[in-house]
Amino acid sequence: MKSNRWLIGASLLAVPLTLGLSRIGAQEIKPQMEIKKAEISMIRSEIVAPRAVSLSVVSQEFTGSFDSVEESCTAFKNECLKQKVKLEGTPSALLILTEDPTGKDSFKYSIGFTAAKQKVEAPLRTQSFSFGKAVSHVHVGSYSELAAVHGAIRTASKERTKFPVIMKLVNDPKYPVKIPGRGELRRGPNIRTEMLVPIK
């Protein structure tokens, strides 16, 4: 039964140093989950024109399941506060899947956010991701559909996708990003998640 499910979690990182991580969920993805044909067409066009992606990230690696993502986010938040990690602008919250979680009870993943390179101590680390070719797709809708999105990208690329896969939270209307001196930053009424998938 496990091999037919993909559990997905997503997070919101609020700024600045409060680093409020919330909206962490583990949602069961069933094989029959589908996305709209218009989105599949969009993915196909994005496959034809992949782009180079470079990200500088502060993150912490964990081993567990999507059920443990919330606990991992709390640990990451506390460590960032302890080390007084510096944030600039509006960093994006990231869930980084180091390996394919399909059918696995335990796998490696990281919780992080985009940030300028800086000195941090273990268990935090700075990472630079550089993909020569990657599909960048923004999904508008439930986190529970992200496995189907990844499946559509994998199919459209003729199985040329690889890991790590990076999910960047663009917007969650239930938890608007807070910016000092500017209040809440609202980016629209829908959940928006950017999925970055490197391809061979």
pLDDT of the chain, 200 residues: tens digit per residue: 343 333 333 333 333 222 323 343 334 333 345 788 999 999 999 999 999 999 999 999 999 987 788 788 888 888 988 988 887 767 788 899 999 988 888 999 999 988 888 999 999 999 999 999 999 999 988 877 888 899 999 999 998 899 999 998 877 666 555 554 545 555 555 778 899 999 98
- What's the CATH architecture for 2-28+35-198? Alpha-Beta Barrel (3.20)
Across the chain, which distance is largest between two alpha carbons, in Å?
49
pLDDT of residue 33: 59
DSSP 3-state assignment of 115? coil
Domain ranges of the chain: 2-28+35-198
pLDDT of residue 157: 92
User: With 0-12 CB in 10 A as exposed, 13-18 as middle and 19+ as buried, what is 136?
Assistant: middle
pLDDT of residue 183: 52
The two tokens of residue 180 are 């000092």
DSSP 3-state assignment of 83? helix
pTM recorded for the entire structure = 0.79
pLDDT of residue 35: 85
Residues whose CB is less than 8 angstroms from the CB of residue 173 and which lie 6 or more positions away in sequence, other chains included: 186, 188, 189, 190, 191
pLDDT of residue 30: 38
pLDDT of residue 178: 55
